[in-house]
Structure 1
Amino acid sequence: MNKRQAVPFGLLLIAVLLWIYFKPQKETVATQEHHPSYIAYDLENTRFDESGNLSLQIYAGKATSYSNNDITLFENLKVVLYVLNEQQNNPTIWQASSDKGVLTGNNKLLLSDNVWVKNLSLDQLVQTMNTEELTILLEEKELSSNLLVKWQGPQIRQQGVGMWASLVSEELIVKKQVKAIYLNENK
């Protein structure tokens, strides 16, 4: 090899070695630890009890499920609960709606942001209820909140901080700061 061939070969070798040394490292993209199992849009889900009676229906604009954590996140959620009245053998229908919801397991549903509960059957003392956060135990059909809750019924408006209610036994317990207005109107 003569000098004419050795100089370009040497420069090329130096350039390759510098390129390897200063080569930019590929940045690894940080992946999320928890990937959703599925994402569903316009979700509709229906559950039945052991007797085959309609128990509840869930409607959501979007649902994201993480099966490894047993959590499902909902957006624009509506839950319809059917409570069978054993004496009259007909269901009382309740609808709970919110902007966001988190289902833990298959039973505990936390609703948040603009939460409304309505009695669609119009057969209970409480007709509507609203708060900013509400927990529903779906199997037990129990509602609870630690925040300010307002509810209305025929000829009554009430509010209180913290409450627990059973749709099955038709009980409502308000923890503190209860205020009530009774209306003397014929409806």
Structure 2
Amino acid sequence: MRLGLLSVVIASALAGAACGTSGPKVALIGDSITGLSRERLSAGLGDEYTVEVMGKFGARSDEIIAEVKVIAASHPSAAVINIGTNDALQRVPAEQTKASVQEILDLLDDVGCRYLVEINNGITDLLTGDSRADEARAINAELDALARENPGVKVVEWNAAIAEHGGVSAVMYDTVHLSEKGQSLLAETYQEALSNC
């Protein structure tokens, strides 16, 4: 999901961008999946929440720490963290991803409601077409472990939502990035999760 210099510029523009003017502040943190879904996520949640979106294109979990520090300083009441897809694509060891996500959770320790979003088990390398299912499942297992180990942290079961709405091909155009239908589904899934905060 490395998209070059333009991606970095777009990611910088997205960092800290807040939408919506009412309700508690929700931080949506992630990579290009979050960045490209920004409009629908903001529209889907904006009536109930003040939405802050940070989608850093091409980022692994260890590459968003600086941005998370900025978000933490804005004191959101909830955070949804959708990171790890690039880790799987680049075959970062799952335990290394776990350590990076733990650092993110630690930075957001005073946030009352924190969600980790499963990454898609059906992802493939965008250049070679090789499956990264094993890597994705290993990372998701570590996300589950983090939820068990950190009080108040829950997991958004994104793979179940994908399966219930037609599978990967129905909600993604390249096994990584979401179609319009997928973006709307992501917003609905986040809204449902946040209703349980």
Same fold (TM over 0.5): no
- Larger relative contact order (Cα-Cα within 8 Å, sequence gap ≥ 6): 2
Return the index of the structure with the highest Cα Rg: 1
Greater helix percent: which structure?
2
Q: Which TM bucket (shorter chain)?
A: under 0.3
Greater strand percent: which structure?
1
TM-score normalised to structure 2 length: 0.25
